[in-house]
Structure 1
C-alpha cells in the first residue's frame, strides 16, 4: 500500500497571470491524463502554468504549454517532454457547454491551478473573458489600494 506524502487538496502550481489578464466567469475541475514520470515530478512541485492555455479539439479538451519539468532521477528509457500536450477529462455535457461558450466572441479557457485531490491530479480551468488595458490598470489600482490599507492597519496595531 502506497503512502501519501501530500496533504489532501494541496496546490501544485498556480497561474496568477490569468487573474490579471482575464475576468473569470466560471470554474471547472478537470482530471488529467499523465505519465508516471509526470506524476513523480508533480509530487516534487516541478510544474508551471504561466504560459499555458486550454484548447478544444475534436470534442476533447487539452492543456497546451503547461510545463512539468522531469526529475533528474527519471528513468533513462523514457523520453521526457516537459511541455507535452496533456488531455483534460470532463463530462460530455460540460464539454458541450464549454464549446458553445468559447465560440462566443471574447471567451476563452485558461488553466488556473493544478492540485491534488484524493490522490489524483486535478486542473482547475476557467471560462474567462479578456480584459482591456484600462481594466488591467484598475486591477492594479485596487490591489495597491488594498496594500495601503493593510499597511495602515499594521502600523496602527503596533
Structure 2
C-alpha cells in the first residue's frame, strides 16, 4: 500500500495512527509549534512523520520529541537541517499544569495525534492517554472488522426471491 500524499485542500500534515491503536485517549489539546523556515516548507510538502513521537513535559514547558521532518533540499540552504530536533509546543500555563498533574499519575502519558494547518499556522493535536491492554486491542480490532463487514453487507444489492 503506497503512502498517500496530502491533497492541496486537506489541512492534515501527519497523523499518528499507531497512537489510537496503542492507547485510550482521555483528553485532547491543541498546541502551536515553534518551527524554523525549512520545517514549514517541508510540512507544506507533507514531509513529516509522527511515528514513535511523544511529548516531554519539563520545567513548565512542553516539547515534541521523535517527530521527523524531512528537509526538502539541504544543498540550497545555509542552515544545517536537523530532521529529528526537539520542537517546542506552545500551550497555556493552565493546560501545561493539567498535563503535568495527569502525567504524574501512574499509567498516563502524553502523545501527539496529528499535525495540521489552522489558517497559516501549524498546530499539533496532543492527547493525554493511558495504555491499552492486549485484550482491549483485540476487542477494538474485532469491532473494526465487524463494522467493515456490516458496510459490505449494506453495499451489496439485496437478492429478493419471491
In the alignment, is the contact (CA less than 8 A) between 2:28 and 2:126 conserved in 1? yes
In structure 2, stretches of 5+ residues that fail to align are 1-7
**How much does 1:147 deviate?**
0.7
In the alignment, is the contact (CA less than 8 A) between 1:41 and 1:69 conserved in 2? yes
Who is 1:98 aligned against? 99
How high is the TM-score relative to the length of structure 2?
0.89
Who is 2:136 aligned against? 135
Who is 1:144 aligned against? 145
**How much does 1:50 deviate?**
1.2
**Radius of gyration: which is bigger?**
2
Change (3 A) 1:39 1:74: farther
Q: Residue by residue, what CA displacement relative to the aligned partner does 1:43-99 show, whole Å, maximum 9, x if unpaired?
A: 000000011011101111010000110002663321011111100000001101110
Q: Which runs of structure 2 are paired with 1:74-113 in the superposition (5 Å)?
A: 75-113=76-114
Q: Distance in 1 between matches of 2:78 and 2:20?
A: 39
In the alignment, is the contact (CA less than 8 A) between 2:15 and 2:114 conserved in 1? yes
Who is 1:22 aligned against? 23
Who is 2:14 aligned against? 13
In the alignment, is the contact (CA less than 8 A) between 1:13 and 1:45 conserved in 2? yes
In the alignment, is the contact (CA less than 8 A) between 1:37 and 1:74 conserved in 2? no
Who is 1:3 aligned against? none
In structure 1, stretches of 5+ residues that fail to align are 1-5
* Structure 2 residue matching 1:39: 3-state secondary structure: helix
How high is the TM-score relative to the length of structure 1?
0.91
Residue-pair matches, total: 153
